[in-house]
Amino acid sequence: MSKTTKAPTATVTTNPWQTLSAFTDARIALGRAGTSLPTRALLDFQLSHAQAIDAVQAELDASAIRSGLQALSYRQSHPEVYDVKSQAGHRQQYLQRPDLGRKLSEADTFALQQQRTEQGFDLAIVIADGLSACAVNQHAVAFVDALLKEMSFAQCGWSLAPICLAQQGRVALGDDIARALQARMVLMVIGERPGLSSPDSVGLYFTWQPQPGCDDAKRNCISNVRPKGLSIQNAAKRCQYLMQESYNKQLSGVALKDRSDDALLTGTAQSEIFLLTSTTK
Amino acid sequence: MTAYRYQQGLTLYRFDNLADVMAKASPLRSGDQLAGIAAITAEQRVVAQRILADLPLSTFLNQTLIPYEDDEITRLIIDTHDKVAFAPISHFTVGDFRNWLLCETTTTDLLQDVALGLTPEMVAAVSKIMRNQDLILVAQKCQVVTAFRNTIGLPGRFSTRLQPNHPTDDLNGIAASIFDGLMYGSGDAVIGINPATDNVAQTIRLLSMLDEVIHQYGIPTQSCVLTHVTNTIEAIGRGAPVDLVFQSIGGTERTNMSFGVNLSLLQEAREAALSLNRGTVGNNVMYFETGQGSALSANAHHGVDQQTCEARAYALARVLDPLLVNSVVGFIGPEYLYDGKQISRAGLEDHFCGKLLGLPMGCDICYTNHAQADQDDMDNLLTLLASAHCQFIMGVPGADDIMLNYQTTSFHDALYIRQLFGYRPAPEFEEWLARMKIFSANRDSLLQDTMPAKFELALRSLEEDR
């Protein structure tokens, strides 16, 4: 039996299973002072929480995202970009009134209506701060870049509405935007509720023929898009694939099954679980 | 519909109906404000509380908050009401009821005797005129014991759900958190995984793993994969080793519709789990999670305040004889419970209401990063709930759930409570912890400094692989 290490004057008992951290980002093997958190682990947690709080309060860096997007190209031109706001005036109101974050401001509704085309658009992309502007500040341009490349590669030939950068936006804000623009599908690229270990996670929601008041069951979601989660490249591939399926079937939501998930089920096999293999060796 | 009037000084207050009185009498919370049913002024709130205090308890049997014809939860509440159990308190007003609950002569046995005579509306009403200390004192007198492979809720006992979630359900990632949790003595309420991929194949895969772990290490506890009840029913049909059936439930029929469940589906699931007969010391096979705000979130609250809706969910849980009921109090976000104060109050209310109705209440003491709350708030609520003798709490590594992206109580937090109150785990599990040499036999320390042999073997196999 190995003794857990405890130097003569040590006040912290360390855990000899730190090697298991290779399997998970969970805060395991933290050790203990008495039975409480050691100071180091306590302050690591407080730092992560501080970062998550800051992520919630952060603002959308519209100018940086705009110039990033304008440098991209799709079907031989650069995307147009519009700034829009929801009806939630500020962060505090946004947090307490989810209904306002779902509605497009009147001025922006009018402005977007002026951008309509006769044929309508196949796809409207909306980038919204959601609950983590940090997430979209960091990853939105890279994601849209990857997605547009996937779309070009797949030669789906969709017409693209001006990309909207939305402040104080929730997922359903995309419905109002799509209606104003007359787009057949909306893709919301939004900052997800920040986790302690993932303040920069982006969520993708697409909806076929979105209508204001649209049920969430009519949407498809790809979540946890971030470097340490679902990679931007994979997210873009999956998103393009599913949106194509949505187009073909003219629907979205629970009726659109994500067959690409089947591949994910092959992970660690039961026989490879460290906790279960010891007695057989 | 009866309207209620009250003259306070120069102001004549009017409340449209009983639901309006209940909503206005509720301690302030953002969800009721969002629904537009909260008291407008502080005085209006206390006026509503005074009206409530003077109402006979029987009012709630005669005036339903949500019509009998429209809602199966109302029908369940009315149809299963036990008049005999209610008789000893039937003459009380809500205010009398509070006084009676607080009497030293109102013992654990008396509270158990009246439980089936109480409706969710009665306990919600009385909670609205109780301070935090009242909620704690009375809940602490209630005792609810349930069992499956161990016994939960005995005096002096305090249990934990080991929650080893992983963002991609990686089996070794989950196993690593289980390992960590067991080494800290967590997991007697249940080892319960929230799956990231929510389908039947994944459910079976995770259940098989948990079954193997429990079997191989001889752990007297139960497993659960927190997937939709229909997935669990299908998994049982395919021969999966299901211990507990999980489901999120709410307090109105339409809330449950939004969860894709109803009473008969839950009864079917319970029957299926019972048929497996996997319990060794008891047969409580259901695990429910609830939380204030779910009815409003599903747009299914009928103008009833969120705390009363929550208490109504317990009526549904009660007829299904659960092992565990867990109010996930801070998960829903600040639009329903704005800050640490509101979360704490709600946690104490839920625990009190559930216990009084006779349910094995635990609490997921938690918050999200967009709520105005932090670890200090969680420490406060944890300590208060433990003093109210909450049956169980969650345990995640370092309080950080990396799959659900929220903070709940950690393995360390449970040990803090054990030190502070001297609470011990479920007896069967405690015996296992001692046998494994995880918990120490000597009274000076809870945990042993050495690794249990079986677990050391698992670690060593890993090192040999490299």
CB contact at 8 A, B295 and B331: no
pLDDT band at B466, cuts 50/70/90?
low
Among candidates A29, A95, A195 on the partner chain, residue whose Cβ is nearest the Cβ of B405: A195
- CATH number belonging to the domain at A56-257, selected among 1.10.3720.10, 3.30.1390.20, 3.40.50.11240, 3.40.50.2300: 3.40.50.11240
- How far does Cα A198 stand from its chain's mean position? 10
B168/A195 touch (CB, cutoff 8 Å), yes or no: no
Please indicate whether, in this complex, the C-beta atoms of B451 and A26 are within 8 angstroms of each other. no
| Nearest Cα residue to A276 out of B200, B134, B455, B271 | B455
What amino acid occupies position A246?
S
Calculate Rg over the CA atoms of chain B. 22
Q: How far apart are the first and last CA of chain B?
A: 73
Q: What is the pLDDT of residue B443?
A: 74
Give tens-digit pLDDT for B350-363: 999 999 999 999 99
Please give the ipTM for the structure prediction.
0.95
pLDDT at B116: 98
Residue of A nearest to B404 (CA): A195
Separation of alpha carbons B226 and B232, rounded Å: 9
Strands of the sheet containing B159-162, edge to edge, are B223-225, B190-193, B159-162, B392-395, B361-364, B324-328, B286-290, B245-248
pLDDT band (50, 70, 90) for residue B263: very high
Q: Are A124 and A161 in contact, with CB atoms under 8 Å apart?
A: yes
For chain A, list residues with pLDDT below 50.
1, 262-265, 280-281
Cβ separation A197–B400 shorter than 8 A: yes
Average pLDDT over chain B, rounded to an integer: 96
CA distance B85 to chain A (A): 42
Maximum distance among all alpha carbons in chain A? 80
The confidence score (pLDDT) of residue A41 equals 97
pLDDT in tens, B161-194: 999 999 889 999 999 999 999 999 999 999 999 9
A278–chain B Cβ distance below 8 A for any pair: yes
> Which structural domains are found in chain B, ordered by start?
146-435 (3.20.20.70)
Tens digits of residue pLDDT in B57-113: 999 999 999 999 999 999 999 999 999 999 999 999 999 999 999 999 999 999 999
Please report the beta strands in B132-194, taking only residues with DSSP state E, as ranges in sequence order: 146-147, 151-152, 159-162, 190-193
List the 94-123 stretch of A: residues with Cβ below 8 A of B: 95-99
A14: distance to nearest CA of chain B, Å? Answer: 9
Q: Which residue has the tokens 């109906």?
A: B17
| pLDDT at A269 (0 to 100) | 76
Residue of A nearest to B34 (CA): A97
Here the tokens at position A45 are 């947690």
| pLDDT-based confidence at residue B4 (cuts at 50, 70, 90) | very high
Residue of B nearest to A38 (CA): B412
B216·A279 Cβ contact <8 A: yes
Residue B394 main-chain phi, psi, to 5 deg: -85, 160
Residue of A nearest to B36 (CA): A97
**Nearest CA among B270, B222, B404 for reference residue B330:** B404
Taking contacts as CB-CB distances below 8 angstroms, the residues of chain B near A55 are: 369
Q: CB of A128 within 8 A of CB of A189?
A: yes
Q: How far is CA B272 from CA A72, B211, B243, B262, in A?
A: 56, 18, 11, 16
Please count the other Cβ atoms lying within 10 Å of the Cβ belonging to residue A47.
Answer: 11
Rounded average pLDDT over B131-159: 98
Instruction: Report, as an integer, the average pLDDT of B140-148.
Output: 98
For chain A, the domains span: 56-257
> Would you call A195 and B212 a contact, using CB atoms and an 8 Å cutoff?
no
Q: Are B283 and B251 in contact (CB under 8 A)?
A: no
Count of CB atoms situated within 10 Å of the CB of A18 = 12
Report the SS3 class of residue A104. Answer: strand
C-alpha–C-alpha distance, residues B342 and B372, integer Å: 10
SS (H, E, C) A142-188: HHHHHHHHHHHHCCCCCCECCEEEEECCCCCHHHHHHHHHCECEEEE
- Residues 62-91 of chain A with CB under 8 A from chain B are none
**Most A CBs within 10 Å: which of B186, B217, B462, B465, as the mutation test of the A interface?**
B462
pLDDT of A258 reads 63
Give the model's pLDDT for residue A278.
58
pLDDT category of residue B465 using cuts at 50, 70 and 90: low
CA B193 from centre of chain: 16
Give the model confidence (pLDDT) of B277-331 as tens digits.
999 999 999 999 999 999 999 899 999 999 999 999 999 999 999 999 999 999 9
pLDDT tens for B185-240 read 999 999 999 998 878 999 999 999 999 999 999 999 999 999 999 999 999 999 99
> Mind telling me how many Å the CA of A280 is from chain B's nearest CA?
10
Q: How many CB pairs under 8 A join A and B?
A: 211
Residue B55: predicted pLDDT? 98
